[in-house]
Amino acid sequence: MSKTIGLSVFTHRQGRRFVRIAALAAWTTLAIGLNASLDAAPPLEDLRQKIRSGEYEAVIRGTNEGIDQRQFGEDWYLIKAEAESALGRYGLAWETVQAGLQRYNWSIRLRGLGIAAANYAGESAKAKLLLAEIQDLAGRAAWRYTDSDNLVMLGKISLAAGADARQVLETFFDRVLQHFPSHREALIASGELALAKHDLELAAELFHTAAKHYPDDAEIQFGLCRALAASEPDQSSIAWQAAMKANPRFVPAMLFRVENLIDQERYEQAGFLLEQISQVNPQHPLAGAYRSILASLTNDPKGAIVCRDAALTSWKENPEVDHLIGRMLSRKYRFAEGSAAQQRALKFDPKHLAAKMQLAQDWLRLGKEEDGWKLAEAVHEADGYDVQMFNLLQLKDELSRFVTLEEPPFQVRMEAREAKVYGRDVVELLQQAKTRLGEKYGWTPDTPIIVEIFPKPNDFAVRTFGMPGVSGFLGVCFGTVITANSPASQKERPANWQAVLWHEYCHVVTLELTHHRIPRWLSEGISVYEEQQAHAAWGQQMNPEYRKRILNGRLTPIRQLSGAFLQPESPKDLQFAYFQSAMVVDFLVKRYGFVMLKKVLDDLASGVEIGHALERHAADLDQMDAEFRADAAEQAKQLGYGLDWETYDLSAIIDDDDSDRLARWVEDHPTSLSGLLALAKQSIQARKWDQAVPPLQRLINLYPEQTGGDSAYVLLAAVQRQRKDAKAEREILQTYVPKDDAPAASLFRLIELQQKDRDWAGVMAAAAQLRGIQPLSPVLHRAQAQAAEELGRWPEAMSALEALLELAPDDQADLHFRLARAYHELKSPAAKRHVLMALEHAPRYRAAQELLLEIVATVPSGQEPNTPKTSITPKTEATPKPAAKKSK
């Protein structure tokens, strides 16, 4: 430590006389040697180690001895007060600070620690006084506080007083680290600052560096744990364990785990852990805040108030308590209560940036956009460093370029080009969902529902999670705000956006219906279930992987199902959690009737806990779990019932020189999945197309529900293509596409075959399905335009041609001419405008000239076209189109 640089060192023995020693290395060493030989208080470094490993009582004893022996240094008091605070003895900690100040009245570090101690001891006025004294001391004798420890403390105090974060970083923490790159406190303070500003990469870097110097340090490991929580959950969990190993009584890490358990809806365990925390520190205000949250989440509003009051007993205006309560409620999608809590925190401390930031996010998620953006801008102005706010405001710029399609209750925001191409489809789908689910669940919105569709995945992530780089989600619902990734953002295998929006709108219904008091699993389960109800191919279907999981007994108990969403071990586990939840909902409806589900939702709305609600209207959870497991196993067995699912190791047979050996094996095992698949693949590899047909056909017969890119359908279609049997290929594709929710490649191929056969109705059907997957594909719109023209289905022709003008306007003369023809067929005056535009691009366009003459002959003069310029993909001229307007 460099504490004594530039200052004199005093030692004192037996309380008799002072010896003044110059700050020379040799003398300092001597001084330490003398102290050690006294058989007195343990050395400070020992006590520091002890406080870091949670031996708080021993630290208090040790520091008491040192203080009694009048050992020199403010650290004796600092460490003592720190240990007392860790045990919740705030009054004593405050006394210790005051005693320390009597001896070291110039100490800034004691005052810095004293601010918290005084606040927690119910002496807020004294805390303010200390801050003023620090400013005075540092102003009058700045030279005195230029050593590392004081610089770090001054940085922390400046931050708490609302100083600019970047400036603090440069003036204080960086300055220390330049001279002492391994300074523990400076590394921790910089890391904590980066964490607070959501600069997670920098935070991880700083804590990694710190961990190299101090590998078994709870505070550092815990910093690392939080920095990695979002990006590397496994590493984060290892760091958490390391922190707890270093200090098993480290309350901040224990509270972090409480938060985790609450996220997973494991409220009982969270309560147990809070009990353990109170054995270390019975007064911890944030533990009180978590108790209040638990009460809120378990339908105990009175308990919530009592616990909050208890958390505020000593420091009555502690903004952290309400900030935490609000943040946690918002994590449970209870944004209205969450924002109210942030407002309470801001009443206590109007400068509390984190509360303001959270409030801005809450408002944006509640659809209170004007207030939300205004506050976000104010926060950014006050604090230019925060990464989350910076990202959010960049997104605001992006959003200002979106258009809004308004059709009550929906306000759909999309990129202008996307809105023109499939905006109408989006609005129609949402209206359908509103009607269908509204009738079923008895709920229709009375406030606007905002739907935002993002072509850039990072914009979606920032809007949804507050940070870029979060992937794997197609859409998210906050209640009355839905965000979704557009098909443009999903390059490889785009999902079905219609199913996604159906799913998200169903969340709107269940969240609003229950006042956001629905467990995660049930909300997801109902959303996936309703996808399946809306369309046989939507939602998730039983597949070999799920079959295996169920039959191997890997179903999660219903009680723990929400946890499976919040801490999945792999993306596959998460997918399965969705599927299982939908299965549970399906089981409940089958077994107890849909009315029962409705009653459960009503109960949840009035605050009844899910277990009780299910027990009241169905059965107790354990019994239900058992029945559900049996039912799920039955369904799993039904999948490919006649198929032999055993995985045989056929490698030796496949590699055999005798290429017929596999075929003979399959003859003996005619229903083996592995065998049939291996045989088909062997034949495909050998380009023996005819031989590949029978095993694939048999696989389809035995397991007709299979979907996905590697299903026997897709393989068989490819084989038939090689055999140049277009009829068979078409048939197989036609059977397959209705079974899959996003069979884009198969649909493109099917359309090609149908076009060759001039099966225009077929093309129209395939194109309609493709619009739900890849609406931005020009190939799709070209096919739809041609088929619709052939069939004289002019509104659909127009919609496709308009889309082509946006997506692939290479032949504008042709597109405008065809649009003019379609409008003319519908006797719309817009025909003239389009034919004139066609002629503008190609003045000698003969057919266009003739069409113009025809139009002029039929339209009486004076009646000019008055169609809006930015019409969006109209289905029919009769239905009014929502006007596309720039959003603010």
Q: Considering the complex, what minimum distance in angstroms separates the CB of residue 521 from Zn ion?
A: 10
Residues composing the chain: 888
Cα dihedral sign for 722, 725, 730, 732?
Answer: negative
For Zn ion, which is the closer residue by CB, 481 or 852? 481
Q: What are phi and psi of 324, to 5 degrees?
A: -65, -45
Least separation, in Å, of the C-beta of 503 and Zn ion?
6
Task: State the nearest-atom distance from the C-beta of 520 to Zn ion, in Å.
Answer: 9
Measured CA to CA, the distance from residue 559 to residue 631 in angstroms comes to: 17
**Interface mask (CB under 5 A) for Zn ion, residues 527-546, using x and -?**
x-------------------
CB of 287 to Zn ion, least distance (A): 32
Subset of residues 795 to 824 that bind Zn ion, contact rule: CB under 5 A: none
**Least distance to Zn ion, CB of residue 519, Å:** 13
Radius of gyration of the chain (CA): 34
The sign one gets for the Cα dihedral 649, 651, 654, 657 is negative
Please give the angle made by the CA atoms of 315, 317 and 321, to the nearest 5 degrees: 85
Minimum distance from CB of 504 to Zn ion (Å)? Answer: 7
Can you tell me the distance from the alpha carbon of 239 to that of 700, in angstroms, rounded to the nearest whole number? 49
Q: Give the pair of three-digit tokens for residue 182.
A: 């391994």
Phi, psi (5° rounding) for residue 653?
-70, -40
State the nearest-atom distance from the C-beta of 257 to Zn ion, in Å. Answer: 26
Of 520 and 547, nearer to Zn ion (C-beta) is 520
Q: Among the candidate windows 109-117, 521-529, 747-755, 797-805, which touches Zn ion by CB under 5 A?
A: 521-529
CB of 477 to Zn ion, least distance (A): 7
> Which stretch, 201-209, 264-272, 516-524, 800-808, contacts Zn ion (CB under 5 A)?
516-524
Q: Which is nearer to Zn ion, 524 or 759 (CB)?
A: 524
- Binding letters toward Zn ion, positions 472-511, x by CB under 5 A: ----------------------------------------
Shortest Cβ distance from residue 603 to Zn ion (Å)?
21
Please give the C-alpha separations between residue 204 and each of 165, 183, 254, 391, 462, in angstroms, as whole numbers: 18, 16, 20, 19, 20
The piece of 430-438, 525-533, 718-726, 734-742 that touches Zn ion (CB under 5 A) is 525-533
Cα–Cα dist 405/887, whole Å = 9
Taking the complex as a whole, the smallest distance from the CB of residue 565 to Zn ion amounts, in Å, to 9
Q: How far is the CB of 492 from Zn ion (least distance, A)?
A: 22
Residue 403, beta-bridge partner list? 414, 886
Residue partners of 9: CB distance under 8 A and separation at least 6: 21, 22, 23, 27, 28, 31, 72
Task: Find out whether 78 and 243 touch, Cβ atoms under 8 Å.
Answer: no
Q: Where does this chain touch Zn ion (CB under 5 A) — which range of 102-110, 336-344, 524-532, 668-676?
A: 524-532
Residue 508 or 855: the one with the smaller Cβ distance to Zn ion is 508
CB of residue 725 vs Zn ion: minimum separation in angstroms? 42
Task: Choose the binding region for Zn ion from 166-174, 282-290, 522-530, 827-835 (rule: CB under 5 A).
Answer: 522-530
CB of 316 to Zn ion, least distance (A): 41
449 φ, ψ (degrees, to nearest 5): -110, 120
**How would you label 727-760 residue by residue, b for 16+ Cβ within 10 Å and e otherwise?**
ebbbebbbebbebbbbbbebbbbbbbbbbeeebb
CA distance 581 to 610: 14
Task: Kindly indicate which of the ranges 184-192, 266-274, 520-528, 744-752 contains the residues binding Zn ion, using the contact rule CB under 5 A.
Answer: 520-528
CA dist 823 and 831 (Å) reads 5
Give least dist CB 581 to Zn ion, A: 9
The window from 416-424, 517-525, 702-710, 713-721 that contacts Zn ion (CB under 5 A) reads 517-525
253 vs 426, beta carbon nearer Zn ion: 426
Please say which residue, 461 or 696, places its beta carbon nearer to Zn ion: 461
Q: Which of 205, 290, 229, 224 is nearest to 254 (CA)?
A: 290
State which amino acid sits at residue 344: R
Q: Which is nearer to Zn ion, 94 or 529 (CB)?
A: 529
Stretch that binds Zn ion, among 70-78, 225-233, 518-526, 711-719 (CB under 5 A): 518-526
Q: Where in 843-862 is the site for Zn ion (CB under 5 A)?
A: none
Supply the DSSP string of 161-210, one letter for each residue: TT--HHHHIIIIIIHHHHH-TT-HHHHHHHHHHHHHTT-HHHHHHHHHHH
Window of 280-288, 298-306, 523-531, 560-568 that interacts with Zn ion by CB under 5 A: 523-531
Distance CA 723, CA 76 (A): 87
| CA-based nearest residue to 732, from 721, 743, 717 | 717
Count of positions on this chain that bind Zn ion (CB under 5 A): 2
Nearer to Zn ion, 365 or 881 (CB): 365
Smaller CB separation from Zn ion, 363 or 478: 478
Tell me whether strands 481-485 and 449-454 are parallel, antiparallel or unpaired: parallel
Residue with Cβ nearer Zn ion (473 or 645)? 473
CA distance 888 to 886: 7
Nearer to Zn ion, 410 or 529 (CB): 529
Choose between 283 and 527: whose C-beta lies nearer to Zn ion: 527
- The residue among 11 and 527 lying less far from Zn ion, judged by its C-beta, is 527
By C-beta, is 527 or 707 nearer to Zn ion? 527
The contact set with Zn ion (CB under 5 A) reads 524, 527
